[in-house]
Chain A
């Protein structure tokens, strides 16, 4: 599907457990440049943990994670340097409440990359303008709606110009009427060629935006394929079962 030169992310044989509980088992995942991969599966299937492992927020127990061909889980790797290249957006936004929107966005470019304040603010403002948030740049996060906060969180991750963007159920904490504005932004990013791994419960969105959908079950990637195939004719009974339940709940 993608030749190795264009491979942005490669997860091989990843295992992660919390104490006795194995959350991820022998997970393999490859993501090519400009590819959008959606992770679907029931709550507790390991989607979020996989994203946190890729971003090195959780140490892994076995296997490896490669970013652009470099093993980032090898001992001695500078995790702070790796994280500059991977953006992550969380379910609960996690904006910095004591900083204005623009400062939320420019903090990392200024402190991590050493960009000057003027330059970082110019870049931040043009990102905000691109996503229709320019008039919010001097507001504090608590003045924004949930949808606006989540869009700011995405912009904050984009400001670091990451090679890879991880989205961890970014619409799960939003009121239903605010979901669309966030998903529209992600669609726009996908169109623009952003490489993304997206954990989501929004099946319709996954079907539209994903190049490939992975179904996680019990900590394994049970099945993956293009959305048309995986949603229409899943080969695994567990996948079929999951999708039937989703359809019954009116989510597809």
Chain B
């Protein structure tokens, strides 16, 4: 940006945000809003507890993301098996991806987190956290399997022809030629789904996992004040924004690389 353009951008940004801020502060009910959402003492009081509770969300999404990477890939590969003999397996993979993408995540969390422990099957864990991991993994693996599948289908058939012509089996072609290229191609959309997963960890508060949103709810009802939610929003910005920036950077880098490839 030139010097003049920078100044214009600065002035315009200042004007727009200044106007917005002025509008909000001068809203008819601003003082009430300030009291119930922006209480500095409650904020300072709640933040340490909330930050500590956030570790549950972080544990949840870290475990789930690893499981999702594996399960999503398995589903995608099963769905790409060729020939009539694998029809039932393809059918199952398709049904799985369709159903778990169609169901609201919060329902899956409810049914698994409250339903299965209530069966009291011996040996089956009843901790809500375990079922929270299972539910989030099932829902997001369905999305991620579609991302992987798009990646697999984006690899030109001539790559498989080349691999097979050298004597590699179908499975070896998949493992050594198709998947390494496909996975590289889908990393940005994969990270995109992980951003969604990280945010959706708050849904497991509905089955009583003492994660950050649950703790914020407790604090809210104790003081009849919404400030703790604002603290939660801030915490999520802190952990999720870096991932969104990394994702955008990767997408930009891929675009640069592929246009360079087109020139070559």
Contact = CB atoms under 8 A, between A and B. Distances in A.
A112 B184 CA distance: 24
Given A94-B158, A96-B162, A107-B176, A142 B261 contact: yes
Interface stretch (A5-13, A84-92, A126-134): A84-92
Nearest to B177: A96
Contacts of B169: 80
Contacts of A107: 166, 168, 176-177
A90 B167 contact: no
Interface in A147-186: 156-157, 160
A59 to B, nearest CB: 13
B157 to A, nearest CB: 10
Contacts of A189: none
Contact of B165 (A57, A81, A113): A57
Given A97-B181, A107-B176, A84 B264 contact: no
Nearest to B257: A142
Contacts of B261: 142
B164 interface: yes
Interface string A106-131: 01100111000000000000000000
Contacts of B167: 80-81, 83-84, 108, 112-113, 160
Interface residues of B, number: 19
Given A111-B172, A111-B176, A112-B172, A94 B164 contact: no
Contacts of A55: 165
B180 A83 contact: no
B161 A157 contact: no
A84 B172 CA distance: 14
A55 to B, nearest CB: 6
Interface string A53-94: 001010000000000000000000000110110111010101
B181 to A, nearest CB: 5
A123 B161 CA distance: 24
Contacts of B184: 98
B176 A90 contact: no
Q: Is the interface of B mostly helix, strand, loop or mixed?
A: helix
Contacts of A80: 164, 167-169
Contact of B181 (A87, A98, A156): A98
A219 to B, nearest CB: 21
Contact of B168 (A90, A92, A95, A108): A108
A188 to B, nearest CB: 21
Nearest to A111: B172
Nearest to A103: B176
A160 B169 CA distance: 15
Contacts of B162: 90, 94-96
A108 B166 contact: yes
Among A55, A92, A95, A98, max chain B CB count under 10 A is at A98
Nearest to B156: A94
Contacts of B163: 96
B59 interface: no
Given A107-B176, A142-B264, A94 B166 contact: no
A81 B164 CA distance: 10
B159 interface: yes
A202 to B, nearest CB: 22
Contacts of B168: 80, 107-108, 111-112
A3 to B, nearest CB: 29
Interface in B201-238: none
Given A107-B176, A142-B264, A90 B166 contact: no
Interface in B177-211: 177, 180-181, 184
Contacts of A84: 166-167
A86 B164 CA distance: 11
17 contacts: A55-B165, A57-B161, A83-B164, A84-B166, A87-B165, A90-B162, A94-B159, A94-B162, A95-B162, A96-B159, A107-B166, A108-B167, A111-B172, A112-B168, A112-B172, A113-B167, A157-B165
Interface of A: 55, 57, 80-81, 83-84, 86-88, 90, 92, 94-98, 107-108, 111-113, 142, 156-157, 160
Given A86-B165, A96-B162, A142-B261, 6 more contacts: A83-B167, A90-B161, A94-B158, A96-B163, A107-B168, A107-B177
- Of all A-B residue pairs in the complex, the 3 with the closest CB atoms, nearest first, are A108-B166, A94-B162, A84-B167
